[in-house]
Structures are given as structure tokens and as C-alpha cells.
Amino acid sequence: MPREIPAIPKGWQPPRPEPGRSYEIELITPMFGGGVVARTNDPSFPIRPTSIRGQLQFWWRATVGAQYATRQELRTAQSAIWGDTTQASRVQVRVEVLKVDPPVACAQFEPDYKDPSRNRTMPTWNALFKDSKLPYALFPFQGQLTKDRKRIETPPASYIRNATFRLTLTFHKSINFAKQVEPALWAWVNFGGLGGRTRRGCGAIRCQALAPHDADDLQATWVRHMPKLFPQREWPTLAENILLRTSTPLGDPIRVWDWLIGCFRHFRQGEGLGRNPRQQSNRPGRSRYPEPEAIRRVTRARLPKHARLSQIPEDAFPRAELGLPIVFHFQEQGEPPDTVLYPDNDAKGNKRERMASPLILKPLALQNGQAMPLILQLQTPTLTGVDLRRGNTSLALPPTTVIRDPRLANYQYSPLVESPCGSAIEAFLALARSEGFQEVPR
């Protein structure tokens, strides 16, 4: 007996689809990682909706979420839009990859010409990064050798140079897209990226529909999406400093990125600023920052030829402000062993493994396809202390240990001289302004 098909009720209408917005987005700098495994490209699924959803939620907290005073208020509001374990998200993310390059290794280890059974200490970067300052930002991807240099313990990471995809966001009719979602999307496209090391310019993206025409357009859109700035919250918010170098000839994003990383490298390691001039062509000069002297004091290890530099404090770690962890490696036998600097324990006494840098350095893509250097300082919770470890053991730091302090700006040849309060962030921003960067006004 044939199945009876029920009649359609009179007046019935099919449900209306949820509204949606589509955006075509392209990579402008290489993307490292982005797959399920950290720092690894997924050749079969290179751009993942889950990764983009995570980025959008971060930038939602940094823009829309800044209006909430407590974490509980933030969590409640975020769950109402993006969902949680008890309720579905009211924003759906769909990705259609239009074009993508295959992953390429960023570098390779080559045999040591003096001893072919071993590899050279440092890898050879491929053509895109060779003869540039970019390896300074890419060091986590350079790979690692065994101590005897006979085997590659971790091969250099791969990256995807070019990719274009269509991002479609559908949302429940109760969502006010312009106020509740678009600020996060705008901030992610212009200040964030895809994959790893996006705060140092990797995986930067461009969206024609959301890219600014110029600095004035960026300022107007920022005010529209964040009409009010709020006090510091317990999470990062977009409410501190946005600096652009408009005097730089606009051009290829890679060239702009290279120049910007070179500026940051000079602040941290440059001769005459971060280091003394070198005495030998193959050895850098001594650091002018306090960390080496502080580590020598804590570990009680020092070569006699590296006599104590009395003018430099030995109880300070100012570069911790720029992001953690920091690995400290002294080259010569008799100097301190390898140590790693982490943020201090959380409120519950648990060890913390990282603190993302509050500084974002990247090429800002414009609507005409060119780019300009951008420095963005997120407003973040103040770093109150650090934890110096040798292996899993925390080392005892002097009770006077500081991260920022006026005395760090007052000693001879201090790299922090331009910051009255002895802050590495303030000193770097001062250097940027001297190089032609200007703040985007509010």
C-alpha cells in the first residue's frame, strides 16, 4: 500500500533562512600552522572554521566585550552570542577555500662544511625570508637539532604563502550584526590573522570590504565600532594605542613587514641601542638590558672576562612586558645554564606557561592592495611578576626584582631611557614615534 503524503496546511510558509554575510579574504603574509597540530599546516584543511571562530571570539572580547566590568558578565554575554556547552552558537561560521598554495618549508638544515656528518648550527632560510629581518620573528619555526648536531630533532616548519577563501557568517535573527558581530570581524581582519605568531605579522589577511582606505578611515571605523573606551579589564581589550607610519612609501606587505620587524629587532638587539658595539665580527656586543646580569646573579655563574657591569641593574626583567616565555641561552662554557622566563603564578598558585605580547606588529592592508606598518598595543592586565626556571625548577629571585621601574631608565646607555617609568613597551613606542609612527587619534 503506497505511503500517504500529508497535505500541506493552508497558509504554511517555509521557514526563512537566517541572514548571512559573505566576505572574500586573502593572505598577505605567510601563514604558519592553523591545523589541528600546533604550528603545522593542514594541507587537506588549511583554513579551519573553528580557528576563525576562536579568533572572532577573541576580538569580540577585545571590542564588544570591553563594556562588561567582570568576567562573569563577559561570559554570560559571550555565551548568548557565541554559545557554550549548554547552548548553541547564534553565529555560524562557514569557509569555502577558493585558492591555496601547498605548504613549503621555511628553512632547511645543511651539512657543516668542516664536518659533513654534522649540520650547521643555524638553518638556511628559503628565498622569501633570506636576507631580511623576518627570521627574527620566525625563530619558533626554524627547527631544532640534537646537541651533537647530527640529527634534526624538529624540522623547520612549513608555511602557506597564498590563499584566498570566502567566509560566510550566518546569524540568528535576534543578533544585531552591526553591533554584536561586525566589530569583532573588523578587528580580526585588520589586526589579527590566521595560524601562529599573528602578533608578529604572520598570517596577516586582507578583506576588500573591511580594509581601510587610509589612516583617517581606520580612525573613523574604530570610533564607529568602539564609540567608547573602557577601563582596563581582566582580559585584553582594544583600548590603548594604535600607531601607523603613514610616511613610509606604501607597498608590498612583505617589505612593510620586514621593515617593521627590523625596527623591533633593533630595539631588542640592535648595536648602539640593545647591545654594545661588537668587538669581533662574529660575536655580538654585550647586552645593555638588565636580564643577563640578573641571571648571572641568580645562577652565580659568570666568566671572569664578562665582569659585572656595575651601571646595569641586576634585579630586573623589563623585556618580560613584551611577551613570555623568553629563553635565555649563554654561548660560552662557564656562563649561566639555559633558563626560561615565565609569568608568575596565577591567583590559585598554578604555574603559567605564557603571556601573549600586548604588542601587535603587522602590515595593515589597505583597500588599494598596498600596506602600511602598524603597531597596536592592547590594553591588558598588568604583569606583576616573573618566574625564572631552570628546567622545571623555579630559581629564587631577589626581593627587589622589578619589571618596570624609573631606575631602569636612568643608568648609562639604558635602552629604556625614553620611558620615564622604565617600561620596555613605552620605550619601544617612543622609538617607533621617532621613526615616524603617529597615533591614530580618538
d(CA 156, CA 142): 5
The rounded percent of the chain whose pLDDT value lies above 90 is 83
> CB within 8 A of 281, min separation 6: which ones?
none
Please tell me the pTM assigned to this model: 0.92
Sheet containing 205-207, strands listed edge to edge, beginning at the edge strand earlier in sequence? 91-100, 163-171, 20-27, 205-207
According to the model, what pLDDT value does residue 260 have? 96
Q: How confident is the model at residue 240 (pLDDT cuts 50, 70, 90)?
A: confident
pLDDT in tens, 380-391: 999 999 999 999
pLDDT tops 70 at residue 359: yes
According to the model, what pLDDT value does residue 41 have? 82
Q: How confident is the model at residue 8 (pLDDT cuts 50, 70, 90)?
A: low
pLDDT in tens, 327-354: 999 988 899 999 999 999 988 889 999 9
pLDDT tops 90 at residue 251: no
Mean pLDDT across 170-177: 95
Pure H helices in 270-423:
291-299
| Contact status, residue 29 vs residue 41, Cβ threshold 8 Å | no
d(CA 321, CA 326): 11
CATH 3.30.70 fits 20-101+160-210, yes or no: yes
**Helix or strand or coil: residue 379?**
strand
Q: What is the CA radius of gyration of the chain?
A: 25
Domain boundaries, the chain: 20-101+160-210, 107-156, 253-439
According to the model, what pLDDT value does residue 281 have? 67
